[in-house]
Structure 1
Amino acid sequence: MDGTTPLSLVEQVMQTVRGRIAARTLTPGAKLPSIRGFADSLGVSKSTVVEAYERLSAEGVIRARPGSGFYVAGGLPPLSLAQIGPRLDRAIDPFWVSRLSLDAAEDVLKPGCGWLPSDWLPEASLRRALRGFARAEDAAPFTEYGTPLGLPALRVLLARRMADQGIEAPPDQILLTESGTQAIDLLCRFLLEPGDAVLVDDPCYFNFHALLKAHRAQVIGVPYTPQGPDVEAFAEALTAHRPRLYITNSALHNPTGTTLSPLVAHRLLKLAEAANLTIAEDDIFADFEPDPAPRLAAFDGLNRVVRIGSFSKSLSASARCGYIAAKPAWIEALIDLKIATSFGGGRIGAELVLSVLKDGSYRKHMESVRTRLARAMALTIKRLKPLGIRPWVEPRGGMFLWAQLPEGLDASEISQKALAERVILAPGNVFSAAQSAASFMRFNVAQCTDERVFTTLARAMPGA
């Protein structure tokens, strides 16, 4: 064995076996050398070979036959060309951006996705928290279900954070979920029957469309303005469709980056009260705001507004943890739905979020993110200008820029061309129930720092 490599002896043995399989000196079904014989030939202990074989067996590279030994596993089907790159034939629908972005290889650029690059996230804080868990004597976070409401200490902290925004939500009115998406899903399960009408902004986050489609709801889009939904159109939709629910972002709206004005918020709540309408306020971008904006939940006091949040955008997409804040009468029913669909829920994500939020580094991290996003926003607007692509509004914060293409250009066609060059864009109509945003695109400015985004976009635009 090589003493100069950083690999352990076990890993070197595993590498030797893999190399022989790759070179076809060990073919599928062939028996591996005996543990004693292989250990002697490699100059390592039998226990080293045993551990290497066990790890390779766990990976599915080899198979153990009791009383006989270890054998090379059967060959895997070759990776098809369709699996290697982006799906060029995928229809542009509410799943288009998310499916392509989640499946993308590392070399694919994703200015259309909805999250920060990994190196913008607080990796050091997350690692520190995980090391703390590993040293703790209490094994419960790793082995046990969470309580129905979720980790009490995190709910107390969330209640304090919401109080700072003028939202009174005691810990027992906060239900932890696996994500913001699960929070909305639980609310839909609680409120909706198939065929019920639901109001959404037009444009709105494309996964609202996908989730409501899964619940077989009737999706009604309300035109969105720089101050919030068009109030007159909102009132007309209430009369015409009698919806059960309205889902929106009030601060740093996705995809437009706009902020709800206090006047529009007041009028929306008056209309909702008269129509007995529930409002789901998805507030997952709260920590990206440079200054707090009006919140429907603060004006309403969690009477007919349900507050939803998560930490996948600011902390980690892998630490799945979201929450619902709702009136007391609804919490018990939502708990039952949570147990029915995910039982107790995981504890590790909640423990991780709690640890990082309590760490003083989180505030500094978000200050840094907001500063970087402001610079990226200005630079993205500057780089789009020579292409004739103009912001609908210039957002006061956040990662999203909703921009309009030159007259006559179709964002879906451009996105398909860019995809062939391994750049994933977000065409406007994936956000629009009425399909009225063909000339718009959403740009994630944090994912637009590579010059190839703009050179590819220029080549994809007709006449470039």
Structure 2
Amino acid sequence: MARAGTLIESVMKDIESKIASRAYLPNTRLPSVRAQAKAMQVSISTVVEAYDRLVAEGCIVSRPGAGFYTSGPIAPLNLTHIGPKVAREIDPLWVSRESLESTAGSLMPGCGWLPSEWFYQSGIKRALRNLARTHSLDLTEYAPPKGSQAFRHFLQRRMLSHNIEVTAEQIMLTESGTHAIDLIGRFLLSPGDTVLVDDPCYFNFHALLKAHRVKIIGIPYTPTGPDLERFAQAIKDYNPRLYLTNSGVHNPTGAHLAPHVAHKLLTLAQASELVIVEDDIFADLETTRSPRLAALDGLDQVIEIGSFSKTVSASVRCGYIAAKQDWIEQLVDLKIATSFSGNRLDSEIVLQTLTDSGYRKHMEKLHHWLAKQRQSTTKKLINLGIQPWIQPKDGMFLWCQLPTGKNATQLARDCLSKGVVLAPGNVFSQSQNAHDYLRFNVAQCTDEKIFEVLAWALDQQI
């Protein structure tokens, strides 16, 4: 039986966590003593003591005849207090930090980017040399509000070749794909709005949406796209404002959106006020182009975003937003208000790299390397009893199920002790139903030690 002190502390922590997550803003009336006791299944006297202690600490105030209210200024935003507490191995922020801070000796089969030697380094170096020899304003001046006109015209031609009808004036450069989503969130979302995401989806979507204090609903993802029945039900139940997805090489599953699913998805969206944000960051990793919602919709209810951190450089940051022109004009104002100007030098480096004569040949080689690694990594994982969910046609990711009874979070914890950083399934899953899945990056799976450590860690679980 729990001690009274422990129960009192649990009530205090419940209130403090809601204040920290901004679920309770200043001057919010707390549940009555009786209601809080019923909700937490504790005695009324326990809640009375907890509330009295919180009053003494200055967290809440008592207003005779009116109840208890939160006090003080709004709490600093702490993302770790938003949502249920999870193990660090499936906390998106912790996984990101661990991947970004890993030492040179760490092996990272769970990370989401290519090894440095797989990027088009010669093209980047050539762009840097060209810029260093010029007297260009790109070296010193602020960027224009929408970003480089030459880059926007390049993106226009690129999207038109993918059947996305767009003008250069409908495109705005951003610092990254993440920056693009953040601006869109500021533009379209208010705290408490509902956003749909794929389940599983890129884990930083979860972290970023937390910062906007919205309700996140996961839609099960199938090998051909989101589950349409669940998608329709979610629109009916939650009246969501946004749906955030990858239509090309899906992260983390490697799946492609099927044409019939794309059409039905847009029909559902068009019958509501749902806006779709389509992240096309993996476009250059495709060998066979899958449907794009932006092409089918004509940028009416779809916003297209992307960046080049997966194929050009994760260090040289540049992304973009393509949307209806009146929205772009308002997004430009938001961009100026929050960052004043874009990174002119980075965008010029990326543009010169993308238009370098060797980029296309490099991508052909990259497609070959990835195909070879998908085959090799798949074989090694199957030998360990780890089964890919599908056999992807393109990209770097394998979404894999562990042998029966094995837990991905524990596996990640054990492997980390041996210097191998994994990406357990529940870090990608809003429903937390992927406890026996892992995402593997085949480009990061060239070292045999990874599979030796995996075999050892699997043997640790009874």
Alignment of structure 1 residues 294-333 onto 2, 5 Å: 294-333=291-330
Q: Deviations over 1:387-425 (max 9, x none)?
A: 100010000100000000011111000000000001000
- Does the Cα contact within 8 Å between 2:370 and 2:443 map onto a contact in 1? yes
Which residue of 337, 341, 345 corresponds with 2:338? 341
The answer for the alignment partner of 1:287 in structure 2 is 284
Which residue of 431, 436, 449 corresponds with 2:433? 436
Task: Output the CA distance in 2 between the equivalents of 1:408 and 1:212.
Answer: 32
Matched, 1:202 2:194: no
The answer for the alignment partner of 1:229 in structure 2 is 226
Task: Output the CA distance in 1 between the equivalents of 2:233 and 2:334.
Answer: 33
Which residue of 93, 98, 101 corresponds with 1:103? 101
The answer for the alignment partner of 1:167 in structure 2 is 164
- Does the Cα contact within 8 Å between 1:285 and 1:313 map onto a contact in 2? yes
Task: Output the CA distance in 1 between the equivalents of 2:333 and 2:460.
Answer: 57
Q: Provide the aligned length of Structure 1 versus Structure 2.
A: 375
Matched, 1:358 2:366: no
Alpha-carbon offset, residue 137 of structure 1: 2.0
Matched, 1:144 2:146: no
- Does the Cα contact within 8 Å between 1:151 and 1:350 map onto a contact in 2? yes
The answer for the alignment partner of 2:5 in structure 1 is none
CA RMSD in angstroms comes to: 1.0
Q: Deviations over 1:442-464 (max 9, x none)?
A: 00000000001110111111358
Alignment of structure 1 residues 50-449 onto 2, 5 Å: 90-138=88-136, 140-449=137-446
Aligned AA (2:247)? S
Task: Output the CA distance in 1 between the equivalents of 2:360 and 2:250.
Answer: 22
Task: Output the CA distance in 1 between the equivalents of 2:140 and 2:133.
Answer: 15
SS at match of 2:142: coil
Aligned AA (1:312)? S
Alpha-carbon offset, residue 91 of structure 1: 4.8
- Does the Cα contact within 8 Å between 2:89 and 2:424 map onto a contact in 1? no
SS at match of 2:439: strand
Task: Output the CA distance in 1 between the equivalents of 2:119 and 2:252.
Answer: 21
| TM norm structure 1 | 0.80
Q: Structure 2, unaligned stretches of length 5 or more?
A: 1-86
Alpha-carbon offset, residue 346 of structure 1: 1.1
Aligned AA (1:219)? I
Aligned AA (1:215)? H
The answer for the alignment partner of 1:47 in structure 2 is none
| TM norm structure 2 | 0.80
Alpha-carbon offset, residue 275 of structure 1: 1.2
Alpha-carbon offset, residue 96 of structure 1: 3.0
Q: Deviations over 1:253-279 (max 9, x none)?
A: 000000000000001100001111000
- Does the Cα contact within 8 Å between 2:111 and 2:422 map onto a contact in 1? yes
Alpha-carbon offset, residue 202 of structure 1: 0.3
SS at match of 1:129: helix
Alpha-carbon offset, residue 90 of structure 1: 4.0
Task: Output the CA distance in 1 between the equivalents of 2:266 and 2:388.
Answer: 29
Alpha-carbon offset, residue 135 of structure 1: 0.6
- Does the Cα contact within 8 Å between 1:197 and 1:243 map onto a contact in 2? yes
Q: 1:360 to 1:312 in 2, by over 3 A?
A: same
Task: Output the CA distance in 2 between the equivalents of 1:153 and 1:370.
Answer: 27
SS at match of 2:382: helix
Task: Output the CA distance in 1 between the equivalents of 2:456 and 2:209.
Answer: 36
- Does the Cα contact within 8 Å between 2:89 and 2:427 map onto a contact in 1? no
Task: Output the CA distance in 1 between the equivalents of 2:339 and 2:362.
Answer: 32
Task: Output the CA distance in 1 between the equivalents of 2:324 and 2:356.
Answer: 30
- Does the Cα contact within 8 Å between 2:426 and 2:434 map onto a contact in 1? yes
Alpha-carbon offset, residue 142 of structure 1: 1.6
SS at match of 1:141: helix
Question: Highest Rg: 1 or 2?
Answer: 1
Q: Deviations over 1:149-184 (max 9, x none)?
A: 000000000100001110011100000000000001
Alpha-carbon offset, residue 97 of structure 1: 2.3
Task: Output the CA distance in 2 between the equivalents of 1:269 and 1:381.
Answer: 34
Aligned AA (2:177)? G
- Does the Cα contact within 8 Å between 1:109 and 1:423 map onto a contact in 2? yes
- Does the Cα contact within 8 Å between 1:96 and 1:430 map onto a contact in 2? no
Q: Deviations over 1:348-395 (max 9, x none)?
A: 111001111111111111111111000000000000011100010000
Alpha-carbon offset, residue 92 of structure 1: 2.6
Aligned AA (1:130)? L
SS at match of 2:276: strand
Q: Structure 1, unaligned stretches of length 5 or more?
A: 1-88
**After the TM superposition, which parts of structure 1 deviate over 4 Å for at least 4 consecutive aligned residues?**
none
Task: Output the CA distance in 2 between the equivalents of 1:271 and 1:135.
Answer: 53
Q: Deviations over 1:108-160 (max 9, x none)?
A: 0000000000000111111111011111122x112111000000000000100
